[in-house]
Chains A and B, each alone.
Chain A
C-alpha cells in the first residue's frame, strides 16, 4: 500500500487528511512536535482504519534538525502533505518580534526546509507528490494579516517553482489555498459560513487534487474569484481600504 506523510499532524486539518487517506487504505506517517499528541492520533488511526501508522517527532522551527530528519525517514512517502502553519494576530506579531519571527520561520523557512529534504529524495526516485497547504492570505498583502500572508506568499511561490523543477523528474506538486477553515486556529473568529470549509472538506479536496494532479486548488471554488477581484483592485485604491 502507498504511504502518506502528514507534516504537522496535530492540527484539525491534518487529522482529517490523515483519516481520509487511512480510509483509502494508505499507510500513514505522522510528523509533529508533541509526542503525546502524536501517539494518541497514531493509536486512533490504527484502531479505526486498521492500517500501518508510524510517527516522527520534529519541530518545524528547528530547520537544520527537521531537514536532517526528513532526509532519511523511511520509507519515503508517496504523498507528503505539508500542513503545519502558525498564525497569531497581526497586531501581536507587529508588537513582538519573536512572534513575527516565529510566523515567518514556521510558515516559510520551516516549510521549505522540510519540503526541500523530501523533494530531493522524490526527485531521485522519480515519483511522488508534495502537497503544500498555503493560504489565500498570500495572494495580496492586507493590513490585517500581512506578516502571515507574506510568509505564505513566499511558500506559494516556492511551491510554484518546486512544481516546475519536479515536473521534469515525474514528481507532482499541489498548492492548496483553503480560505477560511473551521479549526483551532480560527477559534474565536466569526467566519462567514459560505466561505468556510470544514477540515473534512479540505481533506477531501486534497485527496482529489492529488488523484487528479491539480496544480493549485481553492477548497471553496468562489475563493478563486474573490481573490481575483482582490488582486485586481489598483494599489492606489487598495492601500486606502481596511481589509
Chain B
C-alpha cells in the first residue's frame, strides 16, 4: 500500500510502497521480487537514508533468537528495538555495548548506521561488538557475515545505510553491569575552551557528552554542561535503590500532541529554554546516581518530540572534525551562533579512533544540532559543509538529508572500496535510497 513515509526529521517525504514481513522467508521472497527498495527499521534516522519507492520495514521481524546470560551474547532479528533489548537484558545484569541517545531504534538500524554512543572514545561504535549477522541480498540470498567471514560485506553493511541489502539477524556482545543505575557527574563549563579542556581532563570516564548552548554569544560563547557517567556498583546505590538494583524503567511521560506552529520556535523562545537549561544546574558540579533512562534517553519520555519543530520538519546537522581542529570547531560554532539558526541545546562529544569502511566517527570533535527547516538554511549548511571539508571532517549520513554529492565524495576516504563492495553484492543496484541517489552512490 502506498503511503507517505518520512523519517524523524519529517523531511523529506516519500510516497512509497511499504512491506512489513514478519518472517525471514517472506523477507527473502520480497527481496527477490521487488525493485528499487531500501530496508527501514523504526524510522529514526533523520533524513532520507531509509526512503525509496519501495520500503521494506523490519519492525515485525522482531524476535529474540538466543540470549546467553552467562557470557552476555544476544542473538536477535533485526527489527527488535533497543528498548525491547533492554527489557530483556537489564534484569539479567547486562547492558547495550553502545547506545545512541534514543532507545527507539532497531538493532538493524543500529548496524546500518553503525551508531555511536557517549562511550565511543572507550568502546568504539556498534560494529565493534558484533559477533556475526545475516544479510539478505537483493535477489533473496542470505549471507552470514562477520569480521572473519565475508568481511567486505560485513564492513560495507556496518554504517552502509542499507545499501548492501537487508540485515535480518544480528548477534552481538553485551556489557556486564552490576546495577541499572548510572553514577553521574555534571560540570558546568563557562565557554568553549573550558568544555574542550574538561573533555580532555575527564577522558577516562566511560560515558561523556556535553550539551552546548549555541545561541550564546560573547564571553559565554560555547557555554555548556558536561555530563559524565559510569555504571554504578551495588555499593553506590541508596538502600531503596538496592532493593531492585537491576530495575528496568520504560515510560513515556506524554506524547507531543500537535505539530507546533513554527511561529513559536524562534531565537527568543529557544534562547530562554537554553538559558534555563544552563541555569538549572546552580552548582558548578553535580554528583548523583540516576537510573539509566534519564542519563541515556532524556528525550524518549516525550513521544514524537519531533513535532516540536513543526510540519516543515528539521534537519540535524552532525559533523566531526579531527582532534587538532579546535579552531575549526570554534569557527563553525561561531558562524552558527552569529546566524542565529536557533537550535535547542546542541550536543558535543569527543570520539576515539575509528577507521571503518564507511563509518562516520574519526578521532575528534563531533557536534550535532537540530535546525528547523526555513529559507536560507540549506545554503547556509552548504557553506558549513565547505568549512567541514576544509578542516578534514565529514557529515553523518544517518542525520543527513541535504549534503551535496561532491562533499560526500571528498570526505569519506574509503569510499571507492565501499562502492566496489556495493557493486559486488548489489550489482544491479536494486537496493537504493533517496540518500544513495542524492550522494551518487547508486545511479539515479
Contacts and interface: CB of A to CB of B under 8 A. Distances in A.
Interface of A: 10, 12, 15, 34, 36-37, 40-41, 43-44, 47-48, 184, 187-190
A47 B77 CA distance: 13
A15 B22 CA distance: 11
B380 interface: no
Contact of B63 (A41, A187, A188, A189): A41
Contacts of B84: 48
8 contacts: A10-B23, A40-B24, A43-B64, A47-B64, A47-B67, A48-B84, A184-B22, A190-B1
B323 interface: no
A190 B25 CA distance: 26
Contacts of A40: 23-24, 63, 65, 77
The 7 A-B residue pairs with the shortest CB-CB distance, nearest first, are: A44-B63, A47-B64, A188-B1, A44-B64, A47-B67, A40-B63, A37-B23
Interface in B56-101: 60, 63-67, 77, 84, 87-88
A43 B88 CA distance: 13
B20 interface: yes
Contacts of B60: 12
Interface size class of B (residues with CB under 8 A): 10 to 19
A36 B64 contact: no
Interface string B1-14: 10000000000000
Nearest to B92: A50
A55 to B, nearest CB: 14
A22 to B, nearest CB: 12
A24 B88 CA distance: 16
A10 B87 CA distance: 23
A34 B26 CA distance: 12
Nearest to B62: A44
A43 B65 contact: yes
A43 B20 contact: no
A43 B1 contact: no
Given A43-B64, A43-B66, A48 B88 contact: yes
A47 B65 CA distance: 8
Given A187-B1, A188-B1, A190-B1, A47 B66 contact: yes
